[in-house]
Chains A and B, each alone.
Chain A
């Protein structure tokens, strides 16, 4: 039986090599002492030091973090509330609204991006505003909420409907039932949705590119404009730092989970 798994394992390893090869190259080049892709010319930490003095990169980083945190948390709250409303609807209107909710998920990002750009540009000419951080934030909230709803809805379906009745019989108001009974039950779904939304926002380039206007830049947009000429190794250094942070966080979470399951 064991030897049958071998071809699958070899293929899996090759796929992992394929997925991580560019990341290894990126990390290695963040320590390369010359700019550009000319080859290895010596080890240095310079790019890590220079990174913090590069105002373009630092401002793009803070825009990206602020945007992602705001968009993901607003989407988590709004998405949870909307999901509860959907859950209480009859099947037909719910199905219709969930189909519209799925549109930004299924649609090509570029279509979502240009369609929102059309809205912002035409509304902007009438009302006298131009695209900037606010339009960017609206776009991110809009494409994040569907992911929150998609991860909260299954948790709502798993709820025991007796819970509501029990709470209300015991004199809880609708709001108390919501806060004390429903929210704790669906919390894993909300947290999962929040994390997906945050990842989507951090990683997004295409929708931001069309909705940010010319004044604000996210990290992805800075990288894109650099890639047309040359990506500075400072960006490699920053990405390496972000990547290591996430890796450490995941390891900590994993180890803690393992401890919890072992203790049980």
Chain B
């Protein structure tokens, strides 16, 4: 009995600072400012269908791009020697030590209309690109900020694969293509699932990237929530903000459980 005692303070802490706040979100979403139970906030959240659509659409595009770029890179790392791998992992993690707002903001210097990219294009007599303050810039920001979160879990799953399985497949006459499609890829699905989650969730709920690179014109769900909580005296509406956050959480949960079903059940989520 006494052996379990060390967990008790943290269980109390979680009840107060993890569970109670989430219960408060649900309570706020379902009440009026005077404490009456209502569905009005949830119904009002429906007005923002376009915002939800844009957020989930852009986050989906960013996630697919991260997967297309991240999987081959993770696979390529796993083929290399140990020295290369440790340096590569360090180089993937290192950018995190530069503040992410600042790294995102640095893209403005590169992609703005008179920015570095267009100066290079102009120098090469190529047509200029208008990227800043468009949805493309927001997707770029999402891919840039979260690509390492796709590479790391996939890499850590592939690197732990049992090499004897691959040897057995080769001995039985499978070529590289079949070894990959029949063995390596199916076994790396848990890594893909946690990578997709770790890119999709922060992308769909961001308000920083849309503000810095999207020019704040096209609102995302994150912008909407932020506006209700910290948009100043006139915009302060925690009830509506909670309703929007609740709807977003429910949609994310549905997406994640669908993905887990396709991925073959309840594998443990791989974390860094």
Name A's B-contacting residues (CB within 8 A).
Answer: 4-5, 7-9, 11-12, 15-16, 18-23, 25-26, 29, 37, 78-79, 81-82, 84-86, 88-89, 97, 100-112, 114-119, 121-122, 138-139, 142, 145, 150, 174, 196, 199, 202-203, 205-206, 209-210, 219-220, 223-224, 227-228, 231, 235-236, 239, 242-243, 246-247, 250, 254
Q: Which chain A residues lie closer than 8 Å to B269 at the CB level?
A: 102, 106
Q: Which chain B residues lie closer than 8 Å to A23 at the CB level?
A: 95, 98, 103, 106
Q: Is B202 an interface residue (CB 8 A)?
A: yes
Q: In chain A, what residue has the closest Cβ to B241?
A: A114
Q: Which chain B residues lie closer than 8 Å to A102 at the CB level?
A: 269
Q: How far is the CA of A196 from the CA of B97 in the complex (A)?
A: 12
Q: How far is the CA of A202 from the CA of B7 in the complex (A)?
A: 27
Type the 1/0 row for B136-164, where 1 means its CB is closer than 8 Å to any CB of A. 00000000100110010000000000000
Task: Tell me which of A15, A105, A227 has the highest count of chain B C-beta atoms within 10 A of its own C-beta.
Answer: A15
- Checking A7, A81, A223 against B105 with a beta-carbon cut-off of 8 angstroms, the contacting residue is A223
Q: In chain A, what residue has the closest Cβ to B108?
A: A37
Q: How far is the CA of A115 from the CA of B246 in the complex (A)?
A: 10
Asked if residues A227 and B97 are in contact (CB atoms below 8 Å), the reply is no
Q: How far is the CA of A114 from the CA of B105 in the complex (A)?
A: 24
Q: Is B262 an interface residue (CB 8 A)?
A: no
Q: For chain B residues 1-23, which have a beta carbon within 8 Å of chain A?
A: 2-11, 13-14, 16-22
Asked if residues A142 and B13 are in contact (CB atoms below 8 Å), the reply is yes
Min CB distance B239 to A, Å, is 10
Min CB distance A250 to B, Å, is 6
> What are 8 sample pairs from A and B whose C-beta atoms fall under 8 A apart?
A22-B107, A25-B109, A26-B103, A89-B4, A108-B252, A109-B205, A110-B206, A142-B13
Q: Which chain A residues lie closer than 8 Å to B17 at the CB level?
A: 116, 119, 138-139, 142
Stretch of B121-129, B165-173, B185-193, B221-229 lying at the A interface: B221-229
Q: Please name the 9 residue pairs, one residue from A and one from B, whose CB atoms are nearest each other, closest first.
A: A85-B7, A8-B76, A115-B21, A22-B106, A82-B10, A85-B6, A108-B205, A88-B3, A246-B97
Q: Which chain A residues lie closer than 8 Å to B2 at the CB level?
A: 174
Asked if residues A89 and B147 are in contact (CB atoms below 8 Å), the reply is no
Asked if residues B103 and A9 are in contact (CB atoms below 8 Å), the reply is no
Asked if residues B205 and A81 are in contact (CB atoms below 8 Å), the reply is no
Q: How far is the CA of A164 from the CA of B86 in the complex (A)?
A: 35
Q: Which chain B residues lie closer than 8 Å to A114 at the CB level?
A: 25, 225, 229, 238, 241-242, 245
Q: Is B49 an interface residue (CB 8 A)?
A: no
Q: A97-B7, A250-B90 are in contact. Are A108 and B249 (CB under 8 A)?
A: yes
Asked if residues B79 and A81 are in contact (CB atoms below 8 Å), the reply is no
Q: How far is the CA of A206 from the CA of B28 in the complex (A)?
A: 20
Q: Which chain B residues lie closer than 8 Å to A209 at the CB level?
A: 230
Asked if residues B245 and A227 are in contact (CB atoms below 8 Å), the reply is no
Q: Which chain B residues lie closer than 8 Å to A242 at the CB level?
A: 97-98
Asked if residues A145 and B75 are in contact (CB atoms below 8 Å), the reply is no
Q: How far is the CA of A250 from the CA of B23 in the complex (A)?
A: 42
- Checking A11, A115, A121 against B76 with a beta-carbon cut-off of 8 angstroms, the contacting residue is A11
Q: In chain B, what residue has the closest Cβ to A243?
A: B98
Q: Is B131 an interface residue (CB 8 A)?
A: no
Name B's A-contacting residues (CB within 8 A).
Answer: 2-11, 13-14, 16-22, 24-25, 28, 69, 72-73, 75-77, 79-80, 86, 88, 90-92, 94-110, 112, 115-116, 144, 147-148, 151, 176, 197, 201-202, 204-208, 211-212, 222, 225-226, 229-230, 238, 241-242, 245, 248-249, 252, 269, 271-272
Min CB distance B128 to A, Å, is 16
Q: How far is the CA of A252 from the CA of B149 in the complex (A)?
A: 25
Min CB distance B227 to A, Å, is 11
Asked if residues B102 and A82 are in contact (CB atoms below 8 Å), the reply is no
Asked if residues B208 and A239 are in contact (CB atoms below 8 Å), the reply is no
Q: Which chain A residues lie closer than 8 Å to B249 at the CB level?
A: 107-108, 111
Q: How far is the CA of A110 from the CA of B7 in the complex (A)?
A: 27
Extra contacts besides A100-B14, A220-B99, A227-B101 (6): CB < 8 Å: A23-B103, A115-B24, A118-B24, A119-B21, A142-B13, A142-B18
Q: A223-B102, A231-B105 are in contact. Are A82 and B6 (CB under 8 A)?
A: yes
Q: How far is the CA of A22 from the CA of B212 in the complex (A)?
A: 14
Q: Which chain A residues lie closer than 8 Å to B75 at the CB level?
A: 8
Q: In chain B, what residue has the closest Cβ to A231?
A: B105
Q: A11-B73, A22-B107, A86-B7 are in contact. Are A100 and B245 (CB under 8 A)?
A: no
Asked if residues A109 and B202 are in contact (CB atoms below 8 Å), the reply is yes
Asked if residues A81 and B204 are in contact (CB atoms below 8 Å), the reply is no
Asked if residues A210 and B106 are in contact (CB atoms below 8 Å), the reply is no
- Checking B94, B109, B248, B252 against A37 with a beta-carbon cut-off of 8 angstroms, the contacting residue is B109
Q: How far is the CA of A202 from the CA of B269 in the complex (A)?
A: 25
Asked if residues B18 and A104 are in contact (CB atoms below 8 Å), the reply is yes
Q: In chain B, what residue has the closest Cβ to A18?
A: B144
Q: In chain A, what residue has the closest Cβ to B83?
A: A258
Asked if residues A118 and B77 are in contact (CB atoms below 8 Å), the reply is no
